[in-house]
Amino acid sequence: MTVSTAPVLNADAVDVVRSGKKLLDQASMVVRPGEHWALLGPNGAGKSTLLSLLSAEQHPTRGTVEVLGGRLGRTDLRELRRRIGHVDPRHDPRSALPGRTVVLTGATGTVEVPPRWHPSPEEQARSERLMAMMGVDRLRDDPWPTLSQGERGRFLIARALMPRPRLLLLDEPAAGLDVAARERLLTALDELRREHPELATVLVTHHLEELPASTTHALLLRAGQVVAAGEAARTLQSKPVTACFDHPIAIERRGGRWSARADGTTA
């Protein structure tokens, strides 16, 4: 089988201006099938704004954005969003749904279960496979409010994969997790990427320690501008990261994972 190399995402010279303030300034990004991008930068860099374009939540002021072959402004955004897996840790069901039901809502693209909707046997089977892959199948009947933040994160990834997306967006999935929960999540992401070789992902974070070893590319954003972008091994180096965060930072990579510390200090 031939794997498509056509871009899954293509943002070209994008500006976003809101209330007279430029949130993105000539930002460009191309993501192809099977690539796993990290989107990093300090607070206020424009990461959330760029992610809102990639998830078809808003339009650019200038420039073009194509997601899964559809150009923003020329395609039905509601239909496009149904083809994108989006993991938002702020997902908050209004009722105490069990974890398995939260996963199933990924098939409908809703927060709550739609009235009179019942999952098909195929959807039930897929939800079970995804929960097992993410290591939360034993928690399937636990109510959402009783789950830890790390457990919710893995349920939300399973939910996002229900519609078989070609693109998965992860908005700070490890934020607020303790070390053990973070490592379980990153291991699950590495496994997911191995099992779905054509899936493209974009993961937003402030911290290099939160990047899975399977990360292939990175984009560094500062004040709405791209500081560096490309293969992770070349982009996540001390010089570009220092420029991005405007602070001397030494980068190390061991066992496929990155770490950062202030330059000139001991770990």
pLDDT (tens, 9 = 90+) of the chain, 267 residues, equals 455 678 999 999 999 999 999 999 999 999 999 999 999 999 999 999 999 999 888 899 999 999 998 898 888 877 788 788 888 777 777 788 999 999 999 888 888 888 888 889 999 999 999 999 888 999 999 999 999 888 988 899 899 899 889 899 999 888 888 898 888 889 888 988 988 899 999 999 988 999 999 999 999 999 999 999 999 999 999 999 999 999 999 999 998 899 998 876 543
User: Domain range holding 221?
Assistant: 9-230
Q: What is the pLDDT of residue 137?
A: 92
Distance CA 133, CA 192 (A): 7
Residue 24 to residue 16: CA distance in whole angstroms? 5
Neighbours of 5 (CB within 10 A): 8
Whether 90 is in a domain gets the answer yes
Question: Which CATH number do you get for residue 89?
Answer: 3.40.50.300
- Asked if residue 113 is part of any domain, the answer here is yes
* Structure confidence at residue 192 (pLDDT): 87
Who contacts 161 (Cβ-Cβ below 8 Å, separation ≥6)? Answer: 85, 106, 130, 168, 192, 196
Q: 192-197 long-range contacts, Cβ below 8 Å, gap at least 24?
A: 192/133, 192/134, 192/157, 192/161, 193/36, 195/133, 196/161, 197/3, 197/34
**Within a domain: 249:** no
The number of residues making up the chain comes to 267
Domain assignment present for 238: no
* Secondary structure (3-state) at 141: coil
Q: Against a cut of 0.85, is the pTM above it? A: yes
The helix (run of H) or strand (run of E) holding residue 187 is: helix 179-195
Instruction: Report the pLDDT value the prediction gives residue 264, as an integer from 0 to 100.
Output: 62
- 107 in a domain, yes or no? yes
- Residue 261 falls within a domain, yes or no? no
Number of domains in the chain: 1
What is the predicted pLDDT for the residue at 267?
39
On whether residue 248 sits in a domain, the answer given is no
The answer as to whether 253 is a domain residue is no
